Chain A
Amino acid sequence: MLGGGLSKFAAERPDGTPVDWIIEAAQAALADAGIEPESIEHSIVAYESEIIARQLTMGQVVHDALGLCPRPSVRVEAGGGTGGAALRTAFAYLRAGLCESMLVVGADAMGRQVPSTTVRQVYAMSGDVDFEMAAGGFFTAYYALMMQEHMRRYGTREEQMALVSVKNHRNARFNPMACMPLAVTVDDVMKSPPVAAPYKRLDCAVLADGAAALVLATPRWARERAGAWRDRARVYYIGAGCGTDRMRLGDRPAPYPGLAHFRAKREAATMAYAMAGLTDPRRELDVAEVADPYTGVELQSYEDLGFCRYGESGPLTERGVFDLGGELPTNTSGGLIGQGAPPGAMGLAQAVEIVRQLRGECPPERQVPNARRGLADIHGGTASFSVVSIFERRD
């Protein structure tokens, strides 16, 4: 992992378009990697919605804007998991020998250039259109139904979910690129307007404008061509896993995953851990970026990522296990809740955060001391598609 960069994430960025934000992020990533654009052999462009972007073939438009023609490029899309899918695809291209250096960029325009009702209707189309969307279904409701079942099975409480909101908004205060740096309390979260029970406004990530970029290369290419590889701590991508599940929650087998769990995530994590040689992730990882479109999703994810047993995520959160200074600091960037949630960018932004953590380059307020191994977890739909990536610093 040679370098990473972000554009500013914001609820609305009238100063630019997704292509503009990708250029900002790519410039930052290339500078971080210590290489010039002409040395990039391949690009991957990640974005979810050409409808919201009003641009078909945006991958080609972006590749052109980055000055990478006539070299090869491919567009990757997997809903909210788009960034993670792009990252894993880059890994595969490099391992397969199709190229030795890769620029991965991702963005989406999720801000207020179109009404939020329109955005949510468009994104509802990433679920079942004919039955569930037609019945009035939308993603906040699907996730709420999952959490209702989690609460029933394990006694998980809304105050425990609220602690995730408090943590992620607080971590975002130390991230200048974040969209929602807030000092909120459990009481603030509990009193915020209801959306879909048990979720309230401050339990939910913010639709945001933004972009992220990463430069990856083979070790041989990095040694010969990249300034960052000579001068900086070296971070390797050591494990990549992917899993899927049925699109409709009601079609998933019971009792596992049932409504309460992410089978795709467990599959992806198992695959990534096996590749990376991890057997006890909570102890072997130092930092993690975990999918948090809603606070309860972060709790559910801890369990399917194997950080704890099923039903333990709420009590461990109360004990501060996942806070900065805790056993496994999670979403130090602020996550989707604090940093913002443009689908094409967020999986890549997670990896940017992990690379910085492992290099020891985060602001001191959110730096995990001597972090050597980190995880990025992102998914699409209600985790009908999931990607887990593991990174390691090797001195």
Chain B
Amino acid sequence: MPPERSRSDGRVGAKLRELTATDPLGRLGPEDPWSAFRRVEIIDLQLDFRFRHSLGKYSRFFLELEHQRLMATRCPRCETVWMPPRPACGNDLAVTEWVELPGRGTLAAATECAYTLTTGGGKTRLTLGYVALEGASTLLLQQIKNYGDARRLVPGARVRVVWADAAVQHPMELFWFELDT
């Protein structure tokens, strides 16, 4: 948030402004039970986080993306193939095994977004889709790019993985899907 112009004399560095708040219910004078508490000071506070975040037992998925491989996990008991992978099966808690999936599948649903708030940040437009990869029992959320007309983003449309050439910030930016026409 950009700092607001300070109306203080500079003695309190964090002070952004002071104001006289009105009762949000519109009560005036003695009808406002909080009339003695309407003088408000707004100060600047900052809270920064930087994580040393382990991707834990999911790490192989992200590491193999650097080698252009899409890794899922398969439950040896119920044979569900989880994509995104799970180290323990979400159905029966059995320890799963890694399997590589081909980078082809079909689109289950897609939405064009006017902005994104995470990868890329800010007002960047993006399109997100759920993809049913061949061999997977579940759907993978990923960005859909270079499709042209949005009317082509129909459920059942064939898609294929495309790998990033440029350096990226997060491993999930190493790939996206495009229509396979």
Is A96 located at the chain interface by the 8 A CB criterion?
A: no
Do A196 and B113 touch across chains, with their CB atoms under 8 A apart?
yes
Task: For A250, list chain B residues within 8 Å (CB).
Answer: 108, 130, 138-141
Contacts of A145 in B (CB 8 A): 109-111, 128-130
B6: which A residues are within 8 A, CB to CB? Answer: none
A13 touches B24 (CB 8 A): yes
Q: How many residues of A contact B (CB 8 A)?
A: 45
A276 → B minimal CB distance (Å):
32
Whole-angstrom CA separation of A195 from B143 in the bound complex: 16
Q: Which residues of B contact A121 (CB under 8 A)?
A: 117-118
> Would A54 and B47 count as touching, CB distance under 8 A?
yes
Q: How far is the CA of A152 from the CA of B110 in the complex (A)?
A: 11
A144 at the A/B interface (Cβ < 8 Å)? yes
Report whether B90 and A251 are in contact in the complex, using a CB–CB cutoff of 8 Å.
yes
Contact flags (1/0) for A1-41 with B, using CB distance below 8 Å? 00000001010011100000000000000000000000000
Q: Which of A112-164 contact B (CB under 8 A)?
A: 114-115, 117, 120-121, 124, 128, 130-138, 140-141, 144-146, 148-149, 152
Q: Which of B21, B113, B126 has its CB near the most chain A CB atoms (within 10 A)?
A: B113
What residues of B have a CB within 8 angstroms of the CB of A225 in the complex? none
A14 close to B40 (CB less than 8 A): yes
Chain B residues whose CB sits within 8 angstroms of the CB of A140 once the complex forms: 113
Chain B contact-residue range equals 35 or more
CB distance from B17 to the nearest CB of A (A): 9
In the complex, which of the residues A13, A124, A134, A136 contacts B126, with contact meaning CB atoms closer than 8 Å?
A136
> Is the pair A124, B139 in contact by a Cβ cutoff of 8 Å?
no
Say yes or no for B3: interface residue by CB 8 A criterion.
no
| A249-264 vs B, Cβ < 8 Å mask (1 yes, 0 no) | 1110000000100000
B84 touches A136 (CB 8 A): no
Q: What is the CA–CA distance of A176 and B128 in the complex, to the nearest angstrom?
A: 38
Contact of A136 among B23, B25, B128 (CB under 8 A): B128
- Judged by a CB distance under 8 angstroms, whether A197 is at the interface is yes
Q: Which residue of B lies closest to A27 (CB)?
A: B33
Complex contacts, B82 vs chain A, CB 8 Å: 251
**B1-39, CB < 8 A from A:** 1, 19, 21-25, 34, 37-38
User: In the assembly, what is the distance between CA of A8 and CA of B23, in Å?
Assistant: 9
